[in-house]
Amino acid sequence: MENRNEELKRYLQPGCRVHLVGIGGVSMRPLGLVLKGMGMQVTGSDMSASVSTEELVANGIPVYIGHQAENIEGAQCIVRTAAVHNDNPEIAAARSAGVPVFERAQAWGVIMQAYQNAVCISGTHGKTTTTAMVTYIYMAAQKDPTVMIGGYLPLLNAGHRVGNGDTILLESCEYCDSFLNFAPTLAVILNVEADHLDYFKDLPDVQKSFRHFAQLSSGGVLANGDDPHVVQTLDGLSYVSFGLEAHNRVRAENICADWHHFDVICDGRFYCHVDLQTWGKHNAMNALAAAGTAWMMGISGEYVTAGLSGFIGADRRMQFKGKYHGADVYDDYAHHPDELAATIEAVRSMNYNRVIVAFQPHTYTRTHALFSEFVRELKKPDLVILAEIYAARERNSVGISSKDLQNKIPGSVYCKTLPEVTDYLRTIAREGDLILTVGAGDIYCAGEALLK
């Protein structure tokens, strides 16, 4: 990977023309804007038009809708998202013409080398929220960071920011070993679970990737000392641990019952007080990781207090969308059983009469591999509506459907299409309900249609 990154570095220069395949993605869109800001000529393509592609066009980046070989004409190199494979017509054309093809993560890996500090935040869950929290802290401290987040952040009016400071903050994903292209000066590991099993073989394979990621860091590692999979992953390596248990160097004390308020203690000394507007133990742990990151980066605790007090959540992370027939409608990105468990636990503390979850599983392989875990968690809400599985990058080679989940979850309802989900929600919504659309696909559309 290092040799490929060095090769790419020669192309990421002012005036060079680069073509991004899948440019509308949450990490590709900011990449295109950053590369254009560096003085490069950027073009891109995506399967469909979207708000993301419209933003790119508005910023002077031509975007082709649909993938065709002629789209790459004139490009000196190609950067693709992990979901784009060699059978894509643009990738095939580039390989045939001898135009070098690089991965999105390789491009971010090259870009971050220009910064004195590269804070890379990883984990199976919580990456977006924690990176967003660290961003709020850095902005409160007026550090002028460059930021790449896998979701919309109201503070930035985007999912990215190009700053003039000495720090870049990046959400760092393990899928396809993407984060192994990075050059962190601080690597943060929130948790480690079996996920992305269309790429990784099993949990030990995931752990191997995270261990390698930790070993890439030139300046230190902050990791969840309460997570047994993390502890096992980092066995024998030096790292700063955070968590609730007494052995952690960064820990929370004086925690209130609803997880909104606590003190952060670092190496036995008071560092800061935290007041959160977000819900649940999982968000308190995210905030503790963000505080630990700031402490390790030498930021005063007063800025952690100020930054986190203003954090209202990232897009699609327990995001309030509106009211319908007296019911509150929220949306959340949870797509792994552990994320579902954390989200459902959090909403239970919000004291609604009924918790109604409209869930859309994400990818066939994840649904198949974690089927029993999904069933276990989806039995917990008062009512579950199951949308069909969101395919994302996959074909249904395992022959699974959300109907299979419905057969195992008493009282659940299966809807083949999102309009059916919306129609069913219309018939049952009432005062005192919490309606929560959940999943990493387009399930949010069902909630938005309900509110319209």
CATH architecture of 319-451: Alpha-Beta Complex (3.90)
The CATH number of domain 115-309, selected from 3.40.50.720, 1.20.1090.10, 3.40.1190.10, 3.60.20.10: 3.40.1190.10
Rounded CA-CA distance 407/404 in Å is 5
pLDDT score of 1 more than 80: no
pLDDT, tens digit, for every residue of 419-435?
999 999 999 999 999 99
The one-letter code for the residue type at 27 is S
Looking at residue 432, its pLDDT comes to 95
Architecture of the domain delimited by 2-104: 3-Layer(aba) Sandwich (3.40)
Among candidates 438, 411, 418, 392, which has minimal Cα distance to 85?
A: 392
Q: For the stretch 43-69, what's the b/e string if a residue is b when 16 or more beta carbons lie within 10 angstroms of its beta carbon? A: bbbbeeeeebbebbeeeebebbeebee
74: left (phi over 0), alpha (psi -120 to 50) or beta: left
pLDDT averaged over the chain?
93
Q: What is the pLDDT of residues 80-107, one digit of tens each?
A: 987 788 999 999 999 999 999 999 999 9
Give burial (CB, 10 Å; 0-12/13-18/19+) of 96: exposed
Instruction: State the pLDDT confidence band at 3, using cuts at 50, 70 and 90.
Output: low
Residue 75 has what DSSP assignment?
A: -
pLDDT at 153: 85
Sequence spans of domains, the chain: 2-104, 115-309, 319-451
Sign (positive or negative) of CA dihedral 107, 111, 113, 119: negative
Helix (H) or strand (E) holding 54: helix 51-58
Give the pLDDT band of residue 37 (cuts 50, 70, 90). Answer: confident
- Same topology, domains 2-104 and 115-309? Answer is no
Q: What does the pLDDT look like over 198-255, one tens digit per residue? A: 889 999 999 999 999 999 999 999 999 999 999 999 999 999 999 999 999 999 999 9
Residue with tokens 């395919």: 391
Six-digit token string for 316: 């699609």
- State the pLDDT at residue 27: 79
pLDDT digits (tens, 9 = 90+) for 332-379: 999 999 999 989 998 888 889 999 999 999 999 999 999 999 999 999
Judged by DSSP in three states, 404 sits in helix
Dihedral (Cα; 417, 419, 420, 424), 10-degree rounding: 150
